[in-house]
Chain A
C-alpha cells in the first residue's frame, strides 16, 4: 500500500521532470531536471528492491555523465530562440517518431503480455538476499562474453575520442611537467653561508 503511494508520487515527479527537460527555456535547467529524472528512476528501482541498479544509476549517470553534460552546457552560450525556429517545420516529423515510439512501447507492454500471466508487483525478497552478489554471479557466468564485448567497445570509444581531439601542433611552447616535478632544491637555490654583519 505504502509502496504503491510512493510509486505514484515518484512516477509523477519523474514524468513532470521529464517534461521539464524538454520544455525548460534554459539548457542548464534542462540538465538539472534530467538529474532529477534519474533520481526518481533510481527510487522506482529501489521500490522493487533492485538497490544495486538504483545506486549504480545515480553513481554513473548523476555522478559522472551529467556532471560532464552540465560542464559543457554551462560553457555554451546557447540561443534558445534560434533553436526554436525550426520547431513548427519539424513538428510533423517529430510527431510521427513519437507515435511510432508509443506504438512500440504499447506493443512491448500490452500486446506481448497477452496470454502471459504477470504478477502484480514483485514478491518481497528474503531478508539475507544480496542484489549485488546475484547480478555479479549472472554477469560473470552467463553474460561474461557480452559483458567483455561491451567493455572493449567502450575502450575503443575512449581511444577514438582521445585520438580525435589530440592534436600536435609544431612550434608550440609547452611545459614539461615531468621535468618540473623532478626539480630538486639544489638545482635552483644556492645556499650561501655568511657571517652576520654588525650594525655600524
Chain B
C-alpha cells in the first residue's frame, strides 16, 4: 500500500511545442546514436504490424475496413406506409411538413411527412394498405457510438460519485471516531479485496434483486441495470479514492492545520479552506489514474446486460463476423477516451499549480 506516498507524473509526459522545436538545444548531452535508436523503434513497430498483417493474410482473414463506418453512423431508410386502403384526398403543405390525407369509405387518416421526405403518391391516387406514401433517409448513430455514449455516461456519473465517496471516506478514514474510522477501513478492505467482476454480479443479482423487489412491493418501478453498474463502479473507485484522499490529506504538513486552527478556524473550516485545496492539487495525478481505470473497468458491465462500448462491439461482431476490425477499433476507442482524460487532467493540473 503506497500510504502517504503520492507519485508525481513521469517526466516523459511533460511536453510542449516550444520544447520540441528546440530539441537539440534542450538536450545538449544527447549521444550521436540517439536518432539511430529512434529509428530502430519505428522500424520495430512497423515490422510487428507487418508481421501481424502477413499472418492474417496467411489464415485468409478478409479485412473489410469499409464495413466499419456503419457501426459509427449509418443512413437509415425510413418508409412511411399507408395503413388503410383508400384514396389520397389531399396533399397539404403545413410548414416544413406535408400532410397526406387518405380516405376510406368510413375512415380518414392523415400522415405527417417531414421536409426531407420524398412523396411517392399523387392526389386522387387509389392505394392499398402497405403502399409506400413517402420515403426519406436519416443519419443514425451506429452501435459503437451508442456504446461509447453509454460508457461515457456510466464513467462520468461513477466518477462524480466516486469522488464524493472518496472525499467523505478520506475524511472518515482519518477521523478519531472509531465507528467512522473502522467503518471506512472495513469498506476499503472489502472492496479492494474482491474482484470487481464479483462485485458487479453482487450489485446486480443480489442487491439489485432485493432493491428491485422492494421497489416493486412499494409500487415503484424497477431500477434499470445501468444504475447498478454505476453503483458498482462508483463504490469500487470510491474505495481507492478514499485511500488517495487520505494519503493526500496526510501529506499536507501538520503546520498547515496548526496555523489554520491557531487562527480560530474549526476543523471543518481548516479542512475546507486550507487542507483539502492543497491535498486536491497533490492527488490529481493518482486520481486521474484511478478514473482511467474506471473507464476501462466499465467494459465488464456487459455481463449485466448494460450495452456499453464492449458489449456493443461484441454485438456488432456477432452481426458482422468481423472481429479483427471491430475489436481493434474497440481498443482504439478506449485509448481515445483514456488519453483525452489524462490530457484534460494535465491541463487542469497546470492551471491549478501554485505559482
Q: Do A and B share a complex?
A: no
B interface, CB within 8 angstroms of A: none
